[in-house]
Structure 1
Amino acid sequence: MTMSWADFEAAAPEHAARVRKRFGEHKHHVLATLRADGSPRLTGLEADVSRGELWLGMMPNSRKALDLRRDPRFAIHANPGSGTESEMEGGDARISGRAVEVTDPAELARYAEAAPEGEVPEVFHLFRVDLTEVVRTYLVMPDMCMDVWHPGRPLRTIRRGNDDAAPREDT
């Protein structure tokens, strides 16, 4: 099942707002892609939500772009900042999905025109994201909680305490 950012916002609006806020707190995040041999590659990345989509823009022929062309699966982890309590107050966020390369010149031009001046190079790779999972992890003392969303399923919250043998799911 393919899900855009707009679909995600419609399905889980509060979760989407919290995740978007978390990603908006820093410009650079961590992208995980798969190398040709299947091993992971971690690189920095800017992610942009606009026109109801999550977009990933990259320099021409960057390793991460070539990874995504070969295998579109990825995960993005929100920049945790310095890790202070105040920076992590809203929790931590992670997005997984499949990257679909945009090659249509008109679509690339629309994306570039909507960006602030000077932020998009003349030549670049652009990928639109099909979401497969969006997770926010946060603390409700004494538990660690994870809000987990998958397309076509309701948002669920998993709680784990220090003394839990297994996580328990809120209903």
Structure 2
Amino acid sequence: MTTTMTWQEFERAEAEFAATVRERFGKYTHHVLATLRADGSPRLSGLEARFPLDELVLTMMPDSRKALDLRRDPRFSLLANPGEGTEMGGGDVRVSGRVAEVTDHETLSRFADALGAPLPFHLFRLALTEVVRTTVEDDELVVRTWRPGRPVRTVTRT
């Protein structure tokens, strides 16, 4: 079984890398979520990814296709909005893992208050299996990858 970590555990394990990833997600409101359809094919959907109560969570409209996908198969990948043009200011950032839906009313209400959003909505907490940041530095492609229980690994390509 694959090891996972919460966002907070990731921040404690790799504070500098987590801050960079969080800043990248904070540049834009809308990002791209990859889920798996019932037939196993990929589905890409836009969504807002935010950090209410200091935790990266996914929220979705009731019974949206992406929410139903995640209820059936919790695997996901979330790509930070790359921005306009080809600049990719801050690089390309992706988090992947599994989700767990929050269903207890008290927790949902706390997040609704923090988000300033009315219930009902689906709320998914993330269990991270991988975080990747890709940048171009000094004409080299630099890929930084983190997985639970391991330090950040950096690979460069010319």
Whether TM exceeds 0.5 here: the answer is: yes
- Helix, strand or coil: the match of 1:79? coil
Aligned match for 1:155, one of 145, 152, 156: 152
Q: Which amino acid aligns with 1:103?
A: T
**What stretches of structure 1 move > 2 A for 4+ residues in a row?**
50-53
Note the C-alpha offset of 1:91. 1.0
TM normalised by structure 2 equals: 0.94
Residues 55-94 of structure 1: matches in 2 within 5 Å?
55-85=57-87, 88-94=88-94
TM-score by length of 1: 0.87
CA contact (8 A) 1:4 1:52 kept: no
Q: What is residue 100 of structure 1 aligned with on the other side?
A: 100
Structure 2 CA distance for aligned equivalents of residues 158 and 83 of structure 1: 25
- Cα distance in 2 between the residues matched to 1:59 and 1:152: 34
- Are the equivalent residues in 2 in contact too, given 1:137–1:144 (CA < 8 A)? yes
Q: Please, which runs of 5 or more residues in structure 2 have no aligned partner?
A: none
**Which stretch shifts more, 2-11 or 62-71?**
2-11
Residue 131 (structure 1) aligns with:
128
Structure 1 residue 133 displacement after superposition? 0.5
Is 1:148–1:156's contact at 8 Å kept on the other side of the alignment? yes
Matched, 1:144 2:144: no
Identity of aligned residues (%): 62
What's the RMSD between the two structures over aligned residues?
1.1
8 Å Cα contact 1:48-1:54 kept in structure 2: yes
Q: Deviations over 1:3-28 (max 9, x none)?
A: 11111111111111111111100000
SS at match of 2:16: helix
State the alpha-carbon separation in 2 of the partners of residues 121 and 67 from structure 1. 22
Instruction: Note the C-alpha offset of 1:84.
Output: 4.1
User: Deviations 1:87-107 (Å, cap 9, x if unpaired)?
Assistant: x23211001010100000000
Pairwise CA distance, 1:52: 4.1
What are structure 1's unaligned runs of at least 5 residues?
162-171
Task: Indicate whether 1:121 and 2:118 are aligned.
Answer: yes
- Whether contact under 8 Å (2:80, 2:94) holds in the other structure is yes
